[in-house]
Chains A and B, each alone.
Chain A
Amino acid sequence: MIIDRAFALKIAFGVLLFACGAGLSAVLDNYYLQVGTTLAMLCALCWAWNIVGGYMGYPALCMISFFGIGAYAGGIAQAAGVSESLAWLIAAGVGALFALLLGVPLLRLKGHYFAVGTIASVEVLREVANNWEQLTGGAVGLNLPIHAGSPDEVGRFFYLAMLGLAFLAFLITALVDRTKFGFGLRCIRQNEQAASMVGIDVFKYKVGAFVLTGVLGAATGAIYASMVAFLEPKDAFNLIMTIEIPVMVMLGGMGTIFGPLIGGVSYVILKEFVWAYFINWHSGILGLIVVTVIYFLPVGVLGLTWRDIFKKLGASKSTRPATSDIARSTS
């Protein structure tokens, strides 16, 4: 583990931010607590995705598979009478197991096949959740015991729980960023064959990263399930969200410690704005946001003159290969 001054400052800044977030829970009203909880949840998912998608550079589109598996595992455990915190732990364990089972076959694939395999996992899981009625309640939904307490207390409790999980995801990302494990993942992103030549056990690293992502995603899902106290297949396995998460990370900067935070926060603000003012056009405007991010934020796609402004925002230079000359000759 390499710790220099810049890294220590980053960590200190992150800890300070989370401390402020936790402190704010005492003064915020219920609406802002709700927004804050969503924000923390999305940031936790972004940090989780960033390990596989950002550091390792694999186009994993199965974030919502992990999230939904965790939500259902936690939900079913809670509905069976297990206590809340134990249900969250069980969900994390189920997430790890699921990530292992999914990762071992899928991580042998490359590029498009990997991406499509991961998307297909979302579809398959949603169908299974829809049809396996004895276990999941099917399309009717699954009711969970509601957390006891006044609305304010409950809101604060889940806000702090999500914030805690996001903090954990942040710490894990910081660790990955500075350890041999993260270094290996970056090598895999740049050149998998070369990484294996220098003695990195590529497959083990890939599965390890996948499981880490799976655990964090599943834990987020379980807390979400306890919070909403009602699960439906189409909410738990939402195909749009599985692509939104990578877009958020792209917006902030892939393979960086703060990228997921910046991306998550700005995306949520944009989305709240769009929902508030353009309710009929929200999916179209979300599409526009996605397209804009792709054209104006990846470095050098269009050779934009004011891209330096964006670069400072995203600090994303390191994650993207420069566009080769072919791109220019084909456009």
Chain B
Amino acid sequence: MISQYIVNGLLTGGLYACLAVGFSLVWGVLNVVNMLHGSMVVLGAYFCLYGVQQLGLPLYAVAPVACVILFVFGYAIQRGLLNRVITQPILITLTLTFGLDLIVNNLIIHVFSATPQSLVTNFGTIEFAGVRVPVVRVGGMLVAVVLTLVLYWLLRHSKIGRAIIAVRMDRHAAALMGIRIPHIYALTFGIGAFMAGAAGCAMALIYPVTPMMSGVFLGKAFVICVLGGLGSVPGAIIGGLVLGVVEGLGTLTLGQQWATSVGFIMMMAVIVLFPTGIMGKKGYE
């Protein structure tokens, strides 16, 4: 029984990691709390649903396109709007992204309607040592984790990744080294949106999605980001897995309705006790 809950928690946790890593990167590098993140996840899910259900395209073709559209969307938002207020106090950037979130969410409701939708998929279940898991959840989780690891690798080894890290460490010095700060900011936000889109596609496979869920996704991203430490990719993975398992165990011991509260209370505790997150210090990839 407990092992079933833990496995479920780990599977959900993999998705959570993908959900939070973009949010965490944006927060860490841009110093912006992106309230738009939840809506971007929902947007990714709806693009995926639209492509598969309305256009009849195969899933493996639709999902990358949805992610790329979100990347462009994120790049444009950052380049056009957020870059202009990026040095303002946090209240300004936070309320700005909140306002954008209201607009985007309203648009989603209008275009795709507010009824819950999900992709009906049946790939069977795997049974292993008394634990049953649907294949689709394993697949979604694997894709999410692989993408997160690819992002980690890119940040460590690609030229753009190093530039992003450099900007996070010291914006002024990075500018002196010839890094185009506005471009890097926009790129970072775009990557955040890309990961949100990927998480959205994976979510659409597993849960029914409605536009109202953006707040839930955003809440998860908050908790994971604080647990794992800002802007840290390994932190997001560990934070996601921890949250998944803790929620699973919370459901088991306290009941379903307390699962979300357990996450938030854990986050409040971490925020007060270790403001740098479980993954500690700087965590520069």
Question: Which residues of A line the B interface, CB within 8 A?
Answer: 53, 57, 59, 61, 105-106, 108-109, 111-113, 115-117, 119-121, 123-124, 127-128, 130-131, 239-240, 243, 246-247, 250, 280-284, 286-291, 294-295, 298, 301-302, 320-321, 323-324, 326-327, 329-331
Contact = CB atoms under 8 A, between A and B. Distances in A.
Nearest to B99: A290
Nearest to B80: A331
Contacts of B219: 123
Interface residues of B, number: 49
Nearest to B258: A131
B261 A330 contact: no
A287 B101 contact: yes
A329 B92 contact: no
B51 interface: no
B271 A53 contact: no
Interface of B: 27, 31, 33, 81, 83-92, 94-96, 98-107, 110, 171-172, 175, 181-182, 185, 215, 219, 222, 226, 257-258, 260-261, 264-265, 267-268, 271-272, 275
A330 B175 CA distance: 10
Contact of B33 (A115, A250, A290): A115
Nearest to A247: B95
Interface of B is mostly: helix
Q: Which of A115, A290, A320 is most buried by chain B, counting CB atoms within 10 A of its CB?
A: A290
A242 to B, nearest CB: 10
Interface of A is mostly: helix
Contact of B268 (A53, A124, A283): A124
Contacts of A61: 94
A286 B92 CA distance: 16
B113 to A, nearest CB: 12
Contacts of A108: 272
Given A111-B90, A113-B271, 4 more contacts: A112-B31, A124-B268, A291-B103, A301-B88
Contacts of A329: 175, 181
A128 B222 contact: no
Nearest to A327: B87
A105 B89 CA distance: 22
B83 A330 contact: yes
Contacts of A105: 272
A120 B258 contact: no
